[in-house]
Amino acid sequence: MVTPERISLARKRRSLTTVELARRLGLSAQSVTNYEHGRQQPSERTLQVLATELSFPEAFFHQPCCDEVPDGSAAFRARSQVSQRKRAAALSAGTIAAEVNAWLENLFTLPAADIPTLERPDPETAADMTRARWGLGNSPLPNLIHLLEARGVRVFSLPREHTDVDAFSFWHHGTPYIMLNMAKTPERSRFDAAHELGHLVMHGGAKHAHGPVAEQEANTFAGALLMPSTSIRAAMPHAPLLDQVVTTKRHWSVSALALTYRLHEVGLLSDWQYRSMCVELSRCGYRSSERQGIERESSQLLSKVLTALRRSGRTMQDVAAAVHLTPDELSSLMFGLVMMSVEGGSQASVTPSQARDNSAEHALTLV
């Protein structure tokens, strides 16, 4: 028996309208609508074609109805610039990531959520309170994805076709999620992760997370979390030179423009100095890339999960089949992590840019 909602979810995941999917299937749009609303079941042959066109295993469509992440519950950056179709496609990836997480939680004891949900303090205070709660002091933060995972946030990567979506966050059944766009620079992705944490902390995931005010609050939170004002003022002179900014940005693992904005925010750059610095950084190409950039951060939790699964005898194909996805679809949500054969026929989880920071320990117990 095909679950109608699964057809809709898969279609939205591929960013298709009912008309576009119908055209691919050689059917009428009404037939596709009937399938998605349960008024008609697709034939075995139609299901085969449907699965092929949407790049999902047939088993995916036979699973029970899933609890989709609704548009109103997710905090999108630059929401007004992202079309409804693109938001639906990104949200469907979030729904599938939540299903993958549910499967993992049946096998492992994963870190519980430890996210302060503050009563809308100012962003600087919220960032300071978050650092204090987590015992982070005022030093530069380690690998931010590792830190978030250790505090119970499930961090997944957005498939690369979602280039128009920087990142988004949501709560799902009491678990916080952040979906990150890995097509951005490593510094930008790190700032995006801090921005989304700001939404989770200050806006309850989405209750107050929409609009320019909420976006500015999350930006300020991210800057304060990554670059505490007391440390920035102690480390940087008034009116620093461009070379000093470019050199110091690596200390905080942020972009040159993010550091420049923060210097202006804490009063170390005047309005004129800030504008002049931004113009010079743009002229040097820092709006699109970072010279002497940092290593891309990836998921330690998912890497450990895949390693544990490999040790239990499972392959990547086994894991993908268990969650009713293709290996490529699963990997696209897991930072490109795959399980590759190594000496002796065993397998290991790897990523093109494997993070080496082990400061965030995880409660990862096979049950």
- pLDDT (tens digit, 9 = 90+) per residue, 306-345? 999 999 999 999 999 999 999 999 999 999 886 644 334 4
* 366 bridge partner residues: 108
Nearest of 301, 308, 329 to residue 317 by alpha carbon: 329
- Dump pLDDT digits (tens) for 34-60: 999 999 999 999 999 999 999 999 999
* Residue 69 half-sphere exposure toward CB, CA atoms < 13 A: 33
Q: What is the pLDDT of residues 116-141, one digit of tens each?
A: 887 677 999 999 999 999 999 999 99
Average pLDDT score over the chain:
88
Which among 80, 113, 114, 77 has a CA at the least distance from the CA of 221? 77
Whole-number Cα distances in Å, 105 to 2, 205, 280: 26, 21, 48
Angle formed at CA 258 by CA 255 and CA 261, multiple of 5 degrees: 150
- Domains, the chain, in order of start with CATH, read 4-66 (1.10.260.40), 92-226 (1.10.10.2910)
CB 257 within 8 A of CB 287: yes
Regarding pTM above 0.85, the answer is yes
Distance CA 33, CA 60 (A): 19
The three-state secondary structure class of 198 is: helix
Of the candidates 150, 149, 137, 155, the residue with the CA atom closest to the CA atom of residue 192: 155
Label residue 203 by pLDDT band (50, 70, 90).
confident
Among 197, 179, 260, CA closest to 227: 260
The Cα–Cα gap between 147 and 359 comes to: 8
- What pLDDT score was predicted for residue 8? 97
For the beta carbon of residue 129, count every other beta carbon within 10 angstroms.
14
Amino acid 66: pLDDT: 87
Q: Per-residue pLDDT averaged across 77-105, rounded?
A: 87
